[in-house]
Amino acid sequence: MSAFSTLTASALPFDKPGKFYRGNLHGHTTNSDGVWSTDEYIRQYRQNGYDFVAITDHFMKRFDYPITDTRQYRDEHFTTLLGAELHHGDVQLGGVWHILAVGLPIDFAPYDENETTADVIKRALDANAFVAVPHPNGNSLTIEDFMSVAPVHAVECFNGKSNASADRGYSGHYIDTLCRMGQRIGILAVDDLHKLDGLNDFMSGWVHVKAPELTPTALLDALKAGHYYASTGAQLHSVEMIDHEKLVVECSPAQKIIVGTNRQGVMRENGHHLTHAEFDISKTTSPYLRVTVIDQYGRRAWTNPIWLD
């Protein structure tokens, strides 16, 4: 998998024009295997303070290849992105591929039997979608799986359904391994909402996207540029790199502020109600850094990897 996104230090969203919009990029309705109708899905997220959602029903023959049409729900205060969870080809340890594609056209064509998984991903990219690998820990993906397909924009670091159903929601080890291999991928947190069997997946993970306006085009452009951060409840107010000498983090009250590198060791501030930390990065030899904030309830926020070239 070659680099697709160029997530350099300038991709940090905090100084970009516009404002942060909160959204869920992965979830399912009764059009595939979810419990909520499209109306109920939109109502629930809207009334709970979200600015946008992407419904990503399973794009499979048994569901008649749905691209759930949510365009009627768009207005100046709330918008939607069209998308789907694509399934074509098998992963190394068994099971079908899952590929998250957000920003697909409503008429995205079903799979051709001669297509490979990489072909389907490329077709989604060519349709201007934002493409990610969902729940890699939940699906026991291997690094060879990642390397076998076309490049993507992001990988889910947290998936609410996998967390609620199997305690396999976190996939940070994949992020670190891919980054150490030089792969410039973004980091997502999502619900993967199904509401099956009382699973507590609703409002469990989301992204804050910095965009100049609340429109599908502006949100997709910001996602592809890496102008967002992921969260399960903690908030990042600012992450600023000063002259490649210092990294300054402002956040909601936290117990840990961590700066990860390509080595086992990390830079870390521990305390109670931390809202500010400064890190000397002048001597780091890591090609990238990534910030994680953890609060007293275990809720997290993650920056995308900050590449230092």
**3-class secondary structure, 145:** helix
Contact (Cβ atoms closer than 8 angstroms) between residue 29 and residue 253? no
- The band of 4, judged by pLDDT with boundaries at 50, 70 and 90, is very low
- pLDDT score of 6: 54
- Per the prediction, the chain carries an average pLDDT of 94
Architecture of domain 9-230: Alpha-Beta Barrel (3.20)
Tell me the per-residue pLDDT of 32-81, one tens digit each, with 9 for 90 and over.
Answer: 999 999 999 999 999 999 999 999 999 999 999 999 999 999 999 999 99
DSSP code, position 36:
S
Distance of alpha carbon 261 from alpha carbon 287, whole angstroms: 8
CB atoms within 10 A of CB 257: 26
- pLDDT score of 265: 72
Contact (Cβ atoms closer than 8 angstroms) between residue 211 and residue 287? no
Distance of alpha carbon 108 from alpha carbon 114, whole angstroms: 17
Q: Which comes out higher in pLDDT, residue 262 or 31?
A: 31
**pLDDT greater than 90 at residue 151:** no
The two beta strands, 154-159 and 186-190, are parallel
- pLDDT score of 86: 98
Is-same-fold flag (9-230; 236-307)? no
**pLDDT greater than 50 at residue 3:** no
**pLDDT greater than 80 at residue 93:** yes
244: left (phi over 0), alpha (psi -120 to 50) or beta: left
**pLDDT greater than 70 at residue 9:** no
CB atoms within 10 A of CB 15: 11
Q: Which comes out higher in pLDDT, residue 1 or 49?
A: 49
Contact (Cβ atoms closer than 8 angstroms) between residue 88 and residue 115? yes
Rounded mean pLDDT of 115-135? 96
Per-domain residue ranges of the chain: 9-230, 236-307
- The band of 119, judged by pLDDT with boundaries at 50, 70 and 90, is very high
What are the Cα distances from residue 302, in Å, to 98, 216, 257, 278?
23, 23, 10, 16
Distance of alpha carbon 260 from alpha carbon 292, whole angstroms: 8
Question: What's the CATH number for 236-307?
Answer: 2.60.40.10
- The band of 7, judged by pLDDT with boundaries at 50, 70 and 90, is low
pTM check: above 0.75: yes
